[in-house]
A and B are shown apart, each in its own frame.
Chain A
Amino acid sequence: MQAFTTLNGLVAPLDRANVDTDAIIPKQFLKSIKRTGYGPYLFDEWRYEDRGEPGMDCTHRPLRKDFVLNQPRYQGASILLARENFGCGSSREHAPWALLDFGFRCIIASSFADIFYNNCFKNGILPIRLDAAVVDRLFAGCAAQEGYALHVDLVEQHVTTPEGESIAFDVDAFRRHCLLNGLDDIGLTLTEGDAIRAYEEKRRNEAPWLGL
């Protein structure tokens, strides 16, 4: 996993609440057995006029011009600004894979759905929860200024606006540690192998019906 420390990035504002993972990456693309290649199909039904199919060359598909990611001023964005309950619905990790493949490393929203939030950290994406009023201000900033960019610092746990405002954010210590160092948490858990085996031994006696 790619580590995340700091990021200077253009912000793309997606002004909708309850954006679900079916919208982020529609089901037909989940038939792939790979982790990569989902970027061209990110928000497929909102981005294109036609119905997308896996493996399709997207370079000549008709675009929905009003969709934010199709607007020239947001090309190259690496920070997605969104509203409450972003990433709700299906647990599909294809959603963060598609966001990452498209070029997003950070998502800012007033709240996230639990499974999606967790999936982001496993893929080097930093999801940041900020107060709804702060998110409102960032949307206003994006609208007012072309090229609106933010500086995100996971080490110091703050976001800096172009106006110089510094906004602190919370993140769990363990998740922050893994993301800062790009750690594979399976490797970390396997260092607890003795504890897992001891637990299994104890449970084997307590609950023999589990077949441990």
Chain B
Amino acid sequence: MGRTLFDKVWDQHVVKANEDGSTLLYIDRHLVHEVTSPQAFEGLRLAGRKPWRASAAVATPDHNVPTTDRAKGIVDPVSRIQVEALDENCREFGITEFGMNDVRQGVVHVVGPEQGLTLPGMTVVCGDSHTSTHGAFASIAMGIGTSEVEHVLATQCLIQKKPQRMRISVEGDLPAGITGKDVALYIIGLIGTAGGTGYAIEFAGSAIRQLSMEGRMSLCNMAIEAGARCGMVAADESTLNYVKGRPYAPKGEDWVMAEAAWRGLHSDADAVFDKEMLLAAADIAPQVSWGTSPEMVLPVTASVPQLSDARDDVQREGWRRALQYMGLKEGVALADIAVDKVFIGSCTNGRIEDFRAAAEVVKGKQVAPSIRLAMAVPGSGLVKKQAEAEGLDEIFRDAGFEWRDPGCSMCLAMNADRLEPGERCASTSNRNFEGRQGMGGRTHLVSPAMAAAAAIAGHFVDIRDWK
């Protein structure tokens, strides 16, 4: 019987299959950031352990870093201590780090692929749920907790139970204006935030193959918002073209060998999945989330749902709470919702393609006077440099956007960038949870072009009608 893409990569990384059903799985790449690693390094220190293979790990600070006046350092002393702890831990344990003032620094899930640290067929882990991003490269990429960060540092392995396999196929051409982000939100709207729990999801079909690597990363990034253990896309020419020539990508003979192996990274024609879902690309409209969970999402042409439409009392209560928190009433058209702030960036949408798409929308226009802040935050120093080389920074500034330094920024508001209570934000990030972008802040998840259009119009608009 044929094997799924997930099975192929999994089988290649089994160190030992135990009788109790657990597997000792080898980890090729370990990405590290400042928030979820200090307790893991402390654990190593207390137990007198050393990293099993320090060269497998690469670190960069991203959650706490300021996005303005970088040269002045971090003002918040608690944030500064955490970033300094990462610097010290990397020095002590011999781990490569792209520090705060290195041009290669950025959001860890932007940096990994950009540097060629993420390669097809790898197992990739990071103490961060959005590690699923790297599955865009036909790798098994999983978010882990701090205890497992320590486990991987000490042993280069994880003890895992094999998840079930699900394939979501999106067939047909994506309509104009529809991005990987819209595909992700559409799927989460259908299957819910627990729809992928216990599964590794492979995204397949002609619409997925048409996506750029950036689009595939946005999609896999949000597999975790569907509850999946990981998201994956088969390797193809787009994958190989993206990886080739990156600083840590294989070169010469190694490249030839690697390329041959990577071409096999797809599910066999007769592979059997535990669950299959078939979607039509033509059904996908630009998405806007209206509530406090990524599954509370609808096409921009829709209205906030009626509580009477909920499937049961638990969902109705969730919706009621969400509407109250979001300050919205049933039946309000999503296009009539005005926003106060706009955030373009994050591990979901902080790549060059995202800024190109947003810049195209705002070029020659002005941010609406009602917008208090519109910010564009590149996902890495190299994304920033590339965007500036293309003149995108000027386009954003001319339109009234702030052009910032790279980091996680207002996706989770651990640094100074945050919403104030009651403020409403069009955000290209991944989570609209209560308080996610700041206590009392109200988040609407959208694609970069949709966020850019909301900044200009002052409210949500259908990007398909944008002129």
Contacts and interface: CB of A to CB of B under 8 A. Distances in A.
Interface of A: 15-18, 20, 22-23, 26-28, 30-35, 45, 51, 54-55, 83-85, 88-93, 96, 111, 113-115, 118-119, 122-123, 172-174, 177, 185-186, 189-190, 192, 195-196, 199-200, 203, 207-212
Given A23-B434, A114-B197, A123-B147, A192 B154 contact: no
Contacts of A177: 20
Contact of B433 (A89, A172, A208): A89
Interface of B: 15-16, 18, 20-22, 24, 26, 28, 35-36, 38-39, 42, 47, 49, 52-53, 55, 63-64, 76, 78-79, 81-82, 85, 119, 121-122, 127-129, 131, 143-148, 150-151, 154-157, 159, 161, 163, 193-194, 197-198, 227, 229, 250, 254-255, 257-258, 261, 293, 295, 314-315, 317-318, 321, 412-414, 431, 433-436, 439
Given A90-B129, A210-B122, 7 more contacts: A22-B436, A31-B81, A84-B194, A93-B147, A190-B154, A209-B250, A211-B55
A173 B145 contact: no
Contacts of A185: 151, 159
Contacts of A18: 193-194, 293, 295, 318
A30 B79 CA distance: 9
A119 B197 contact: no
Given A91-B129, A189-B151, A33 B81 contact: yes
Contact of A196 (B15, B129, B150): B15
Contact of A122 (B143, B148, B413, B433): B148
Nearest to B14: A199
A193 to B, nearest CB: 8
A131 to B, nearest CB: 14
A78 B38 CA distance: 28
A115 B163 CA distance: 12
16 contacts: A22-B435, A31-B78, A31-B82, A35-B39, A45-B434, A90-B128, A91-B36, A91-B143, A92-B36, A114-B198, A118-B148, A122-B148, A186-B154, A196-B15, A196-B26, A207-B121
Contact of B197 (A31, A96, A111): A111
Contact of A203 (B26, B47, B146, B159): B26
Contact of A209 (B119, B161, B314): B119
A54 B78 contact: yes
B78 A27 contact: no
A186 to B, nearest CB: 5
A93 B145 contact: yes
B434 A113 contact: no
Contact of B435 (A30, A45, A96, A207): A45
B59 to A, nearest CB: 15
A32 B35 CA distance: 8
A23 B261 CA distance: 43
Contacts of B79: 31
A91 B16 contact: no
